[in-house]
Amino acid sequence: MHKTVKPQKFFQKYGEWYVMLAIPVLGTIIFNIWPLILTMIGSFQNTAGSFIGLVNYQILFSDPLWPKAVGNTLYMGVLGVGFSIPIAFLMAYMLNRVPLLKNVFKTIYLFPMIVSIVAVAMVFKFIFNADANSPMNLLLQKIGLAPLGWFSSTSTSRETVIIMTLWKNVGHSAILFFAGLQTMPTELLEAADIDGANEWHKLWNITVPNMKNTLIFVFITNTIGALKRFSDVYAIASEYGEPGDSLMTIMVYIYRKSFSTLFYKDLGVASAASFVLFLVIIVITMVEMKVTGETEALIGVSRKRRDA
């Protein structure tokens, strides 16, 4: 026989907890879900607020600048995430192995995060200046290579931005990985040492599987950040996206259509681009979660077969 709980007693006992839970839920609704709904509605309206159907989407997909923005975003995203995850994991793994000065290294890792992206851009513009006498080009000439255009060349601008962003943000991912490594059960590593396992076997068979949730979290958050890339490219090229639109990303495109004082603005097209970006992020996140889940399952099956 089930015991019935009166609503009054229930809220007297748990009401405070539900109130505390309601605060972030309301914040999410007000600052995330409601603006998203307004953006979706705005993507079907013109500047006067009249319903025009899919016209804004037709304008968006026929704009020759849009595929450039999408291509640049995906290119820099793949390279950025592809380099940042292994580098951050390696940094965290080495930090976890050192016996002394862990806090000092953690501070060094996080220091670039507190520096303004504008200040970082100014420093990197100086180091990676296209002039032959810039620090990086002088270094290249010292080792027998020709100077590069870096931010000023369409062939190197995106890669140079990735280098700058890696320096600024990779420490954050490294700290997240380090936190995950701190929760590793030491008994498993000690048992592996007794069995004579080398560092590679311990890393692949013990560390990586136990870091699965942290790896997925860092991978997904880095991917979302890469798709919403704005501040770093804007600090380098403003809303122009120069040179040759090579630094025009989806977020810069949306900014240009929404707030520009130099180019033609169209809030309807900006809303359509924003909603398309939202859908792309949702789809890519779901695919990543699906792929990482299937990969983990395949690794588990292969291990069972090997152990058998």
Query: Which pLDDT does position 305 carry in this prediction?
Result: 47
pLDDT of residue 110: 87
| pLDDT the model gives residue 23 | 84
Integer Cα distance of 93 and 107 in angstroms: 16
266, 217 contact by CB (below 8 A): no
Place of tokens 């590793």: 184
Residue matched to tokens 């309807």: 268
76 and 162 in contact (C-beta within 8 Å)?
yes
Predicted local confidence at residue 8, as pLDDT: 66
Cα(23)–Cα(19) distance, rounded to whole angstroms?
A: 7
Q: Is 140 within 8 Å of 148 (Cβ atoms)?
A: yes
pLDDT at position 296: 54
Cis peptide before 243 (omega within 30 of 0): yes
Least Cα distance to 218 among 167, 161, 186, 171 occurs for 171
Calpha distance 257→39 (Å, rounded): 13
Spatial separation of the C-alpha atoms in residues 215 and 97, rounded to whole Å: 19
Stated as kind and residue range, the H or E segment containing 109 is: helix 102-114
Cα separation values, 295 from 93, 153, 215, 288, Å? 22, 39, 13, 10
Half-sphere exposure of 4 (CA within 13 A, CB side): 3
Q: Show the domains of the chain with their CATH numbers.
A: 51-296 (1.10.3720.10)
Q: What is the mean pLDDT for each group of 10 consecutive residues in the chain (308 residues)?
A: 60 71 88 91 87 93 94 94 93 86 86 90 93 92 91 92 94 91 78 74 79 88 92 91 91 91 86 94 85 58 49
The answer for 242, left when phi > 0, alpha when psi is -120 to 50, beta otherwise, is beta
> Residue 274 in contact with residue 254, Cβ under 8 Å?
yes
